[in-house]
Amino acid sequence: MTMPSHTAGAPHVAAKAVDWSGSVREAGFAAFIALLLTVPLVGLRTIDRPTGLSIEARPEEVVASVLLVFLGRLGLGLIGQGLALPVLLLALGAAAVGLVLPMPTQVLRLVLVAGGGIIALRAAFAVATHRSKLTLAERDRRMDRVAAKVQHATKYIAPVAIIGAALLPLTPIADRQILDIGILLLTYIMLGWGLNIVVGLAGLLDLGYVAFYAVGAYSYALLAHYFGLSFWICLPLAGVLAALSGVLLGFPVLRLRGDYFAIVTLGFGEIIRIILINWYQFTGGPNGISGIPRPSFFGIAEFSRTPADGMAAFHELFGLDFSPLHRIVFMYYLILALALLVNVFTLRIRKLPLGRAWEALREDEIASASLGINRTNMKLAAFAIAAMFGGFAGSFFATRQGFISPESFTFIESAIILAIVVLGGMGSQIGVVVATLLVIGLPEAFRELADYRMLAFGMGMVVIMLWRPRGLLAHRDPTILLHSTSGGGKKPAGGTAR
């Protein structure tokens, strides 16, 4: 491993001496910027005292963060000058210190471990490849190869993952909390896959996807509240109503392009929420709707201990002991099935003229029109279908929570779903799953870090923007191949998009 370094890497690196003063100056500058930013943002904290609001200074945190930025920048600079090995050791040391020794605050430990770890990784990479710097294009190509490998591996990963997800409730670790997190993750995966149709395939930046989620949720809640309809009737109805609202919004809006389109969808998302708040008599306003009926077992049995008359109890029907967990498990399977429905739909539609027209529109609208593709209808279809899936997810959300209010459908939800799609790599189905695990799963796992989760979220987004602007697993396989490896070439043996 060290052999080629003498020939390839060494002359390049050892040609110039280490520029200490330059590195220190650069690190000092970075630390200065960090100081400017951290004094107001980290150094001052407002506290609510009985006497009124007062400000508390936190100098230690400021000093710690400035010092960390200084050392980190110095480390990166030295890696660039061929001192990767010592930096690697120092960074590993710092991470170990952060892990072992007691720290004054939890945050310092996190920053020390994470920062040290990242720099150590970077240094290890430099040591391994004898390269101090990768160009952006090189990095992108490498990541692309990884993405392509993951994409091809999904043929094997996907069934395993699906079976694993299906068996999860049967394993002993499946307690209430695990299942709840599972349901939450699957809901976001479903929403991500739904939005992926509009953003990933059709290339329309929709910032108001949560509006359709809200329409679906309120459709079920209100239909159940006013007409006493059951969940199984309302589920398709909620989808239809959400799709209709998608068409309604789409007609005037789809003639807009790019940023303008995004802004109008953003507005639509807010309009729906504000209508829900203000139409007090009908929607319950900010109080929301409570007591939304839970789903029955396909209309055959109920999950309560003593079901209403005319209905069987689930545990009696199957000869089980009563457990409140049954309903949760059922919910889990329900959302799993709904999410897989969206996925199967997307995988199939990509190979049909409709899906191909969406991708063509994303690539070039003018050229699509010149081939006789009716742009408005295609976009409306994408919008309506994605809205329908959003509506399904919404009515599931309503029946799971048993209570909904406009609070649940704020812009941040749209932003998170969009972040999942963009982070995963637009159009990539497996990317949505990975991104959901990162965006929803990690914050759930690190709940005790409280607000610092959002800081980490922001940092993660910035890192992705810098390193992988097209999303983690952005890699597109053709939907139809002429020279398929399995010979023949008659059957469309296209790549899997998951």
Q: Given candidates 144, 410, 476, 496, which one binds another protein under the rule CB under 8 A? A: 476
Scan residues 19-58 and list those touching another protein (CB under 8 A).
none
The Cα–Cα gap between 427 and 415 comes to 17
The Cα–Cα gap between 134 and 145 comes to 15
- DSSP for 351-419 reads TSHHHHHHHHHHH-HHHHHHTT--HHHHHHHHHHHHHHHHHHHHHHHHHHHSEE-GGGG-HHHHHHHHH
Q: Given candidates 37, 144, 480, 496, which one binds another protein under the rule CB under 8 A? A: 480
Closer by beta carbon to another protein, 204 or else 381: 381
CA-to-CA dists, residue 59 to 32, 40, 294, 321, angstroms: 15, 11, 52, 58
Residues 217 and 404: beta-carbon distance below 8 Å: yes
Closer by beta carbon to another protein, 370 or else 486: 370
Residue entry with tokens 């609001």: 53
The Cα–Cα gap between 163 and 26 comes to 52
Q: Is 263 in the site for another protein (CB under 8 A)?
A: no
What is the smallest separation between the CB atom of 485 and another protein, expressed in angstroms?
A: 10
Tokens of 162: 């699906």
The Cα–Cα gap between 41 and 366 comes to 47
Closer by beta carbon to another protein, 41 or else 369: 369
Closer by beta carbon to another protein, 346 or else 408: 346
| Single-letter residue type at 93 | G
Q: Is 345 in the site for another protein (CB under 8 A)?
A: yes
What is the smallest separation between the CB atom of 301 and another protein, expressed in angstroms?
A: 32
What is the smallest separation between the CB atom of 60 and another protein, expressed in angstroms?
A: 50
What is the smallest separation between the CB atom of 378 and another protein, expressed in angstroms?
A: 9
Q: What is the dihedral of CA 335, 337, 340, 342, to 10 degrees?
A: -70
**Residue 463 host element (H or E):** helix 452-467
Strands (DSSP E) along 13-51, which ranges? Answer: 44-49
Strands (DSSP E) along 22-114, which ranges? Answer: 44-49, 52-57
What is the smallest separation between the CB atom of 361 and another protein, expressed in angstroms?
A: 9
What is the x/- site pattern for another protein, positions 296-335, by CB under 8 A? ----------------------------------------
Q: Given candidates 478, 486, 487, 488, which one binds another protein under the rule CB under 8 A? A: 478
- DSSP for 211-266 reads HHHHHHHHHHHHHHHHH---HHHHHHHHHHHHHHHHHHHHHHHTTS-HHHHHHHHH
Q: Is 482 in the site for another protein (CB under 8 A)?
A: yes
What is the smallest separation between the CB atom of 354 and another protein, expressed in angstroms?
A: 4
| Residue among 368, 366, 345, 344 at smallest CA distance from 356 | 368
What is the smallest separation between the CB atom of 59 and another protein, expressed in angstroms?
A: 52
Q: List own/partner pairs for 276-280 with CB under 8 A and 24 or more apart.
A: 276/214, 276/218, 276/406, 276/409, 277/406
Closer by beta carbon to another protein, 59 or else 372: 372
Q: Is 341 in the site for another protein (CB under 8 A)?
A: no
Closer by beta carbon to another protein, 203 or else 406: 203
What is the smallest separation between the CB atom of 435 and another protein, expressed in angstroms?
A: 20
Q: Is 190 in the site for another protein (CB under 8 A)?
A: no
The Cα–Cα gap between 433 and 190 comes to 9
What is the smallest separation between the CB atom of 344 and another protein, expressed in angstroms?
A: 9
Closer by beta carbon to another protein, 64 or else 349: 349
What is the x/- site pattern for another protein, positions 348-387, by CB under 8 A? xx--xxxxxx-xx-xxx-xxxxxxxxxx-----x------
Closer by beta carbon to another protein, 139 or else 470: 470
Closer by beta carbon to another protein, 194 or else 288: 194
| Residue among 408, 99, 185 at smallest CA distance from 277 | 408
What is the smallest separation between the CB atom of 360 and another protein, expressed in angstroms?
A: 5
How many residues touch another protein (CB under 8 A)?
34
- Contacting residues toward another protein, per CB under 8 A: 345, 348-349, 352-357, 359-360, 362-364, 366-375, 381, 476, 478-483, 490, 492
